Chain A
């Protein structure tokens, strides 16, 4: 058949028309739309039976109860646990996003041994047996050489709980006193309580019953204490909240009044308020006369006259002078003092931001004294010295000679020595001692890091890194490939917090003793091991008397044995609380005088205090150096996780574009400061402090004291995943510790700095 043009055309047209009339094109169109609705690479979550598992969140010291929704064996949503004494159904963003840690990209999936250079990220997968024997053989060397004290441990797990308890026990049995927890404002406050109340205790704040909160920079709704409890207390607050802070934080913004103040002068303001209260005779006479010591002048046993709190305050802290120190006004001080004193249950709180810095002892003493002046200690709606959790009653570990000798040696950080008798731990001193040590006298040869991320959390990260590089052997127990795990020699990954049992006592700032329990929501996803089990196995591998101090078969056995008959209740209810626990009262002082002591009745030298000074606060670094014309402070945001874990993808999504833009961090400055520095909104700049410099962008913010630069804490991670790593700057790179002369605590709240156009 001859196909000519015409027949070809008609054939074509005919075929076209024919096909159009068949179902084919319609079917194809339909198929295409169905295909676009179910792209093979778009996940389809599997359906299944929905259940809830109660557990506790250990991502911050708040220790909220959580209720996790599961679909079959998948955890799909974290919600707050109804009826929990800390958070009663509420939950914070960090907690909600916790599943992104469980299922996230940062999990360490199996024990890892470093093969490349430190921090290079080259790892070899090893078995748990290999990992345990690797650690134990390294540690055994230290004991063999008679230097068990050169083992140190940094623990970030809840203090007073069994996990940190086991690590501490291990250190003791091993023969090293160098056990440290991650610094917190509780360190400083407990020290003040020890000095003024005479007991080892933790501060509890009865916000719910107070009608006037005077906060000296505490981020009441920025993550201080147990954040969700604080959010609730703030929302239900019937009275007033006054926030004293150099920056208009969220807490300041929500407060009834924001008092901007020159950073670092909070203690002076507290004493200025005390001055007015004393002058106007507004203090609690009953408490002062019957339950306190050191208010009035007294004569010492040596016959010398000793000035009391009253004289010291009246002499030095007149409103006018305090106004000068703090950059406020005398009228404001008078007014505030009167309204505070006249409130029916006022409460002063301190511990800056989230309370993750130790702070200076004198500041706690000044604020606590202000509370005491009004009789607001150990009373309803006031601040309480809450007993430390003491449910762990394991027999004291058996120690051999090596252990006894090592354990008796002085702590590397000097805590508990004559120099710093009250200090429990001084992490920055530990860091400096190692970093500054000569090659042959490095005091630490091995380090265990558990539940902490010191390379990000500790101040002056450069020094931390320097110290760590001098330590021969670092073992990390982290669940995640964080900044510190990256720098370890071996990683013994813990189960994720949603995969394990762990008791979580003493939620921060809570006035009632509560013990929460983290329960496995899902089965461990990877080849991980509970750090409790890991340390038990290491102890057993070391043999000797160390092994006999760890007689438990497993961590879970240890946990159940610890709680004995209370275990089943704890496991089923999710928490233990002493409902009867109330305000300790004014007869609970264990000082030498059995009274509340404004001025220590004990030997002044013992506390390292100069009696003529109430507040003796160290200057921040760089002061007096003319080239640093500004002050850098760090600030906290509840949208930035700044503890041992950083922000998850959801959390980083919730970070404002005035904090992070691509990888650039913003620092907040007053438009006035910006004008002087010649920078505009969003401009790139170089921020330099005595500790280092960083590239930043500036965000102009009217809510900050001129001359102050504020940088958020929690960014600048080097480990972790692409959602967090490399974003922003870690403020701890720029701020170094400053030693509090009275206590040895790291009293740094900022550093001098300069800002230049990039």
Chain B
């Protein structure tokens, strides 16, 4: 491997490759994300339609009857869609107050909490349900505010929030790098909280444009796919699964095209036989 990599400045594209074969659905990513990002909690969080979980782990099944049932967990952070032309993600393009933005420097879709006025158009636009609204005032019972992370601002009622790829960690790493008179980050200097927490090592995070980063190679895995690619959202989260039914679950297929889905690898039997 070459020692000097061609880093085109401001051409980073941070993304993830999540190995669904490794993911056990333990939820460490979810909890780590909550703790890192000061996500609020309320007495009842069983209604998942109003429960803020920037990182949500979905449980997928192959819908086969006993005993051929299979399940697979799929962690879903914000997909940080790039859209068909740079930055034209479903949500960024619709926000009326420029409260969510696509960073050309990092490829991260940001959310400016103090500018969002809570119209929720971005939530309507996001097919991944990665955006969450603060329906309630966030309340930290007395004492519990002590564990709040000062790097992430606490949100207020009435605004939308979502996964930021732990952007504050990027800033922290960049500050350190600048202090040391560097302009580029090492791969391990900037990792998201979920990536760091995953006990199975299922999540790999890095610059998708950087040949020396692990994600660069991993995303080229023939079993890699992204969620709802056909919509043209161009997300930056890649998933890898050796199971065909899981890969097929990543996108919608009409009945007449199921058999010719592009993810159908020659080696594997069709989903039915699983």
**A residues adjacent to B (C-beta < 8 A):** 36-37, 39, 41-48, 71, 74-80, 87, 89-93, 96-97, 99-100, 102-105, 221, 227-228, 231-232, 234-235, 248, 250, 253-254, 258, 260, 525, 638-639, 649-658, 660-662, 670-672, 701-706, 721-723
Contact = CB atoms under 8 A, between A and B. Distances in A.
Nearest to B172: A50
Contacts, number: 196
B2 interface: no
A731 B263 CA distance: 43
B211 interface: no
29 contacts: A36-B158, A42-B138, A43-B154, A45-B38, A45-B150, A74-B146, A76-B147, A79-B197, A91-B28, A92-B28, A93-B31, A96-B28, A99-B35, A100-B147, A104-B144, A105-B141, A235-B200, A253-B71, A254-B24, A525-B143, A639-B27, A650-B31, A650-B39, A653-B41, A653-B45, A670-B66, A672-B66, A702-B61, A722-B43
A638 B41 CA distance: 20
B45 A90 contact: no
Contact of A45 (B53, B148, B156): B148
A253 B154 CA distance: 37
B27 A638 contact: yes
Contacts of B146: 74-75, 103
Interface string B135-156: 0011011111111111001111
Given A103-B143, A232-B200, A39 B28 contact: no
A42 to B, nearest CB: 5
A228 B199 contact: yes
B209 interface: no
B138 A92 contact: no
B187 to A, nearest CB: 15
Contact of B150 (A42, A76, A658, A662): A76
B27 A77 contact: no
A604 B119 CA distance: 77
A100 B141 CA distance: 11
B24 A221 contact: yes
B64 interface: yes
Interface of B: 22, 24-28, 30-32, 34-36, 38-39, 41, 43-48, 51, 53, 57, 59, 61, 63-67, 69-73, 113-114, 137-138, 140-150, 153-158, 193, 196-202
B26 A639 contact: yes
Given A39-B137, A655-B45, 13 more contacts: A41-B137, A77-B36, A90-B28, A91-B32, A96-B32, A97-B34, A104-B144, A221-B26, A232-B201, A253-B72, A260-B66, A650-B39, A702-B69
A76 B65 contact: no
A36 B156 contact: yes
A67 B42 CA distance: 27
Given A221-B24, A639-B27, A703-B66, A102 B147 contact: yes
A71 B63 CA distance: 47
B149 A76 contact: yes
A723 B144 CA distance: 13
Contacts of B199: 80, 87, 90-92, 227-228, 231-232, 235
Nearest to B144: A103
B243 to A, nearest CB: 11
A138 to B, nearest CB: 32
A464 B118 CA distance: 51
A93 B202 CA distance: 15
Nearest to B59: A656
A119 to B, nearest CB: 22
Nearest to B26: A638
A702 B62 CA distance: 10
Contacts of A227: 26, 199
B140 A654 contact: no
B24 A649 contact: no
Contact of B200 (A234, A658, A706): A234
A227 B141 CA distance: 30
A47 B150 contact: yes
